[in-house]
């Protein structure tokens, strides 16, 4: 998203500088507009991964001091009009920097993300403290941008808050024909995405699932655990863990339904991408994102988070009714047009002008 938005701004005449902390000499993964400059601060927060709580806390505080000093030097030299903080390791000090720029904060997840990790012990206390602290910090910025109206409501009555969703990462005139007996789910194989629940849902449908294929696209730490679950339910002939792919567009075009069983989200891009290819979605109404993207019964189905029976019933309904799939798919295609980058980025321009 950073690259997508930065490239659009650069192509529309803005001078864009991207400041990073952990590049370690690597080139940007996504291509940047030739006018965009980058500066690496060399903080390397990732060096704290795997350490104990106390060791990580001490190392983090040292890196924070270094980060603040180096970033302030850069901003004073560059004399930017606007500094956008992406709610990372610099969120608690960017608004304090006296470089003359207006400070904008944007969040790419939802308010309660840290609490939804469900960590225990000292980590749980740290997550609670950080969530409380963030409620105070976001008010210090000139503007605070969230992705969904649902998340805006969670933050409460904050005068500087504004909703601007992420844009679609691509534009396409192609549309799935929705005739393939194939359902896909996309995401990391971890606790958040809830693929363990999806496997249970598929098993509960029994004969309805016969002749249909469920492909789970992604990689992650739970791959072996999920495969054991699939095998124990004797579903290996119906459910495949397909790994990652560099050609998601073809995966969408060869599918008829997209499902999302996440326990929590920020702004699930898979729902937008599915809609762009005219595919109906069945999704849990988890926090946050699905409520803003899906109109239940119009371009897909929303079910209460964790209600496996209801989810299965809605999925069966779409599997058995090709006419309904195509009707919802067409509505989904129309819905996706609102998220085209040329519709989203002018909202950022308006925000910049209003500061």
Alpha-carbon Rg for the chain, nearest whole angstrom, is 22
Q: Hey, CA dihedral for 14, 33, 351, 74, is it positive or negative? A: negative
pLDDT computed for residue 125 by the predictor: 76
State the average pLDDT over residues 54-63: 87
State the average pLDDT over residues 79-85: 97
Q: CA-CA distance, 280 to 258, in Å (whole number)? A: 7
Q: Is 80 exceeded by the pLDDT of residue 148?
A: yes
Question: Domains in the chain, start-ordered, CATH in brackets?
Answer: 2-167+340-354 (3.40.50.2000), 182-339 (3.40.50.2000)
pLDDT computed for residue 110 by the predictor: 80
Distance of CA 328 to the CA centre of its chain: 23
pLDDT bracket for residue 42 (50, 70, 90)? very high
CB-based contact 215:240 (threshold 8 Å): yes
pLDDT computed for residue 315 by the predictor: 98
Q: Is 60 exceeded by the pLDDT of residue 115?
A: no
pLDDT computed for residue 80 by the predictor: 96
Q: Is 60 exceeded by the pLDDT of residue 146?
A: yes
Name the pTM for this structure: 0.86
Q: Is the peptide bond before 288 cis (omega within 30 degrees of 0)?
A: yes
Query: C-alpha distances in angstroms, 82 versus 77, 129, 307, 314?
Result: 14, 29, 44, 46
**β strands within 15-160, DSSP E:** 17-20, 37-40, 82-85, 102-106, 143-146
Looking at every residue in the chain, the average pLDDT score rounds to 93
CB-based contact 292:150 (threshold 8 Å): yes
pLDDT computed for residue 295 by the predictor: 96
In this structure, what DSSP letter does residue 46 have?
G
- Annotate 182-222 with three-state secondary structure: EEEEECCCCCCCCHHHHHHHHHHCHHHHCCCEEEEEECCCC
pLDDT bracket for residue 312 (50, 70, 90)? very high
State the average pLDDT over residues 107-128: 72
Token pair for residue 263? 């326990």
Q: CA-CA distance, 276 to 87, in Å (whole number)? A: 28
Please report where in the chains the tokens 């789910």 appear, as a residue.
185
Query: C-alpha distances in angstroms, 269 versus 109, 126, 156, 168, 289?
Result: 12, 29, 24, 8, 9
pLDDT computed for residue 128 by the predictor: 74
Q: CA-CA distance, 227 to 198, in Å (whole number)? A: 13
Angle between helices 2-11 and 341-354 (to 10 degrees): 80
Token pair for residue 312? 């299965």
Q: CA-CA distance, 280 to 292, in Å (whole number)? A: 15
343: Cβ contacts below 8 Å, ≥ 6 apart: 167, 337
Q: Is 90 exceeded by the pLDDT of residue 50?
A: no
CB-based contact 82:352 (threshold 8 Å): yes
Q: pLDDT by residue (tens digit) across 232-246?
A: 999 999 999 999 998
- Which of 193, 205, 218, 203 lies closest to 283 in space, CA to CA? 193
């Amino acid at each position: 998203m950073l690259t997508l938005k930065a490239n659009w701004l650069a192509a529309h005449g803005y001078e864009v500088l991207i400041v990073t902390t952990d590049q370690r000499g690597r080139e940007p993964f996504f291509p940047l507009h030739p006018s965009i400059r980058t500066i690496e601060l060399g903080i390397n927060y990732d060096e704290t991964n795997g350490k104990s709580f106390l060791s990580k806390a001490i190392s983090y505080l040292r890196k924070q001091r270094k980060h603040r000093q180096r970033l302030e030097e850069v901003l004073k030299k560059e004399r930017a009009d606007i500094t956008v903080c992406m709610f990372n390791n610099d969120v608690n000090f960017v608004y304090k920097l006296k470089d003359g720029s207006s400070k904008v904060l944007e969040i790419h997840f939802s308010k309660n993300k840290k609490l939804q990790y469900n960590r225990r012990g000292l980590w749980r206390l740290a997550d609670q403290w950080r969530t409380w602290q963030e409620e105070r910090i976001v008010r210090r910025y000139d503007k605070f941008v969230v992705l969904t109206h649902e998340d805006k409501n969670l933050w409460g009555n904050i005068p500087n808050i504004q909703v601007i969703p992420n844009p679609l990462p691509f534009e396409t005139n192609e549309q799935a024909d929705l005739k393939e007996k194939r359902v896909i789910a996309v995401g990391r194989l971890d606790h958040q995405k809830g693929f363990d629940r999806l496997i249970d849902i598929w098993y509960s449908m029994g004969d309805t699932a016969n002749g249909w294929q469920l492909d789970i696209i992604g990689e992650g730490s739970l791959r072996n655990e999920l495969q054991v679950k699939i095998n124990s339910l004797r579903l290996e002939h119906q459910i495949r863990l397909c790994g990652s792919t560099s050609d998601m567009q073809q995966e969408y075009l060869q599918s008829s339904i997209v499902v999302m069983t996440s326990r929590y989200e920020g702004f699930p891009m898979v729902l937008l991408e599915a809609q762009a290819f005219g595919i109906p979605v069945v999704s849990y109404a988890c926090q946050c994102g699905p409520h803003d993207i899906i109109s239940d019964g119009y371009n897909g189905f929303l079910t209460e988070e964790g209600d496996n029976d209801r989810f299965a019933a809605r999925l069966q309904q779409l599997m058995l009714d090709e006419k309904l799939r195509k009707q919802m798919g067409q509505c989904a295609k129309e819905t996706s047009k609102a998220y085209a980058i040329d519709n989203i980025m002018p909202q950022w321009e308006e925000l910049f002008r209003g500061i």
